[in-house]
Amino acid sequence: MQAYSYTLNHSAEHVFSQAVKELYGDLVKPAVAHITETGFASDAKWSFNLSEEKLPEIEAKMAEIVSKALPIVKKEISCEDAEKLFKDNPYKLEWIKQFNEQQKTLTVYWTGDQYVDLCKGPHVSNTSEIKAFKLLSLSGVYWRGDSSNEQLTRVYGVAFSSQSELDKYLQLLEESKRRDHRKLGKELNLFVFSELVGSGLPLFTPKGAFLRSRLSEFSEELQRKAGFEQVWIPHLTKVDLYKVSGHWDKFGSELFLVSSQETSDQLVLKPMNCPHHAQIYASQIRSYKDLPIRYYETTTVYRDEKAGELSGLSRVRSITQDDAHIFCRMDQIESEFRNIMTMIKTLYNCLGLSFSARLSFRDQKRPEKYHGDDEIWCNAQGIIERVAQSLGLDYFISEGEAAFYGPKIDIMITDSLGRKWQCATQQLDFVQPKRFGLKYIDSDGTEKTPVMIHKALLGSIERFLSVYIEHTAGVLPSWLCYHQVAVIPISEEKHIEYANEVNVKLKENGIRTVLFDQAETVSNKIRKAQTEKYPYMIVLGDKEKESGTISLRLRTGEQIAGLSISQFIQKVKEIEQSKSHKIW
């Protein structure tokens, strides 16, 4: 990944807004800026239909502003003066009113004496420090992300401190477009969406269902070996369950509500599984000797995500989790975390993924966002960091990323393009066991409250697939491929009989094959198999038929002639058994 500067991108957004103001005046009303980990975005109300053809014109004006080396200066301002300054902009007036109600100090930034905007900063000292920038795309969004508000236009851009960095970023962007899981999912026939089913509700084809099943099976296999027991819970629950757990207060607006024709109970589609698993634990009297108790379940949860935030498999409304919950004593926490990390390392090593650990702690400036007192949180965060240190994890601390009930170790995958994604997680929870009144009888006969650990190896399987498909560019390891082998006869007349024999023998040995018996040239068949990313292509002609061997072509282009069928079967089975991300 290229070096990224928040300050530089923030400043570039101001230059963009100034350029728009100079070009189009009151025809555009700036609403809000977003500075992300990958660039900047600006939401505004345009009185005409902005098209991407206009972006070069705006870039030219931005370059003109940059060349003037205009100073960017911060000033505090009263709400009254701010209202006068932005009297013609309803979006800025709404922000000013909100800041006034919250008794926050208002600041503005002037670019020279020509442009001013509400902003907390920071910014570069003058516009000439913005060496390279690019406007990338635009989209429609709702004001403040609320679909009941009016629609605005968002323009995306990025800035770097040198042209070479920008060029490298644009190359990376092109490669990421080539690897886009939505594009590859369609090309490889893995999943589809239907307007009749609804947004954010993916439908998996046989190929896609096989892929997600194999990943789930591997996760479950690792969990069973690590002492986890499978449970099952329904997809519906009374609202009361989440009111006790605390999820209703935090996430009530994200839940799908369900009405019953038989009872007056308010039901919801479950958005998470931990409260249900807690009820299984609570169904019996537990002893300290019973702990740890480990439950796992691969199941789907449902969250009413905003339509504008849905994106392929990355953000969906039906989320399948390889979820698990551990109920243990305080003295068992570290060993349980070690157990989880062993599974995570095994899984990601097999998939050829490297990762670091994010210690997700609470935002100390906003304690009201979290349940539990200071002592509990300090204790929990101390345990988390000690565990990370004792395990020798490559970790960093991120305040404000904790769950409302406790700190986490989030596993951050680094993909082949250098991008980081959060997938696996292990979360410490002192809050829910207390809220549900969970107990165990300790060795001294007293009742104690267990600790709860939330764990997922893949996390959201849909989201993991979006990351993994892009990481591999759809070139999956053999054990995850719906079809492993394309059997290709050179001549449909002369070699089809031998090709059938080879195909049958492979199938009998559990190898997933397709016989390419169409009346096409060999080169076309190979090209088709490569496009569909088959790991292996077996090409059969006169020489192979006479010797009873096969000619193997790997999708990497490597070719191996004179291989016996039994040798090939043994090798593929070894790879399948080891779950290697290599194919030979």
Q: CA 228: distance to chain centroid?
A: 25
How many Cβ atoms from other residues are within 10 Å of residue 103's Cβ? 7
Q: Are 323 and 427 in contact (CB under 8 A)?
A: no
325 labeled binding residue: yes
| Dist. CA 326–CA 281, nearest whole Å | 10
Consecutive H or E run containing 238: strand 236-238
Distances (CA, A) of 447 to 214, 325, 421: 42, 21, 41
Catalytic residue numbers?
A: 274, 303, 321, 323, 325, 408, 454
DSSP bridge pairs for 293: 327
Q: Are 111 and 72 in contact (CB under 8 A)?
A: yes
| Dist. CA 390–CA 82, nearest whole Å | 53
DSSP bridge pairs for 115: 111
Which is it for strands 447-448 and 440-441: parallel, antiparallel or unpaired? Answer: antiparallel
581 labeled binding residue: no
DSSP bridge pairs for 157: 40, 135
350 labeled binding residue: no
Reduced 3-state DSSP string for 515-577: ECCCCCCHHHHHHHHHHCCCCEEEEECHHHHHHCEEEEEECCCCEEEEEEHHHHHHHHHHHHH
| Dist. CA 272–CA 303, nearest whole Å | 9
Phi, psi torsion values for 362, nearest 5 degrees? -75, 160
Q: Please report, in range form, the residues annotated as the binding site for Zn(2+).
A: 274, 325, 454
Q: Please report, in range form, the residues annotated as the binding site.
A: 274, 325, 454
